[in-house]
Amino acid sequence: MNYLITSSLFIILTFQTFAQSKKEVKAHKIKASLTTIIENGKTINDAKTLFDAKGNEIEKTNYNKEGTIKSIHKFKYNSDGDELEDEQFDANNKLIEKKSTKYNLLGERIEEAYYDNLGKLTKKEIFTYDGKGLKTERKTVDVEGKTLSVKKYVYITK
């Protein structure tokens, strides 16, 4: 019974956190949000998010089941509000991975480059779009440009 109550509470808290859009965060001048889980009378941190004045997530801390820090993501954005950089740190604030994102003139994400903690490129994801601006493919390549995987997107319209 306690498991059912705890699970339900977790789901409700999760949906409430995700329910806040960038527009709502900006309109209500929200600077931070925290989600917690109450289990067996103990409150455990689940996630903490910090926002900038434009409503963008600038830092997200994830916690493990014990409520201690699991990882921290720090984000940077361009003037259009598109994510340019996501740096992932461990609990000791040591850089684990950095993701750098590029966009075309239409604002479509065209590349995500992943780097290790030493700044060495580990892989890239390359995105392609059709004439309507719909994503048609995501190709993952290694450092040498060798294709690791390809994900195709197909759309069915009336």
Residue 27, number of CB atoms within 10 A of its CB: 10
Digit-coded pLDDT (tens) for 28-75: 999 999 999 999 999 999 999 999 999 999 999 999 999 999 999 999
The dihedral over CA atoms of 50, 97, 126, 145, expressed in degrees to the nearest 10, equals 170
Q: Using pLDDT thresholds of 50, 70 and 90, give the confidence band for residue 22.
A: confident
Would the pLDDT of 82 be above 50? yes
Region label for 26, one of left (φ > 0), alpha (ψ between -120 and 50) or beta (otherwise): alpha
* Domain range list for the chain: 1-93, 97-158
Other CB atoms within a 10 A radius of the CB of residue 8 amount to 10
User: What pLDDT score was predicted for residue 118?
Assistant: 97
Mean pLDDT value across residues 63-91: 96
What value does the mean pLDDT take over residues 115-139?
97
Q: Give the pLDDT band (50/70/90) at residue 158.
A: confident
For 97-158, CATH gives: 2.40.128.720
Per-chain mean pLDDT for the chain:
89
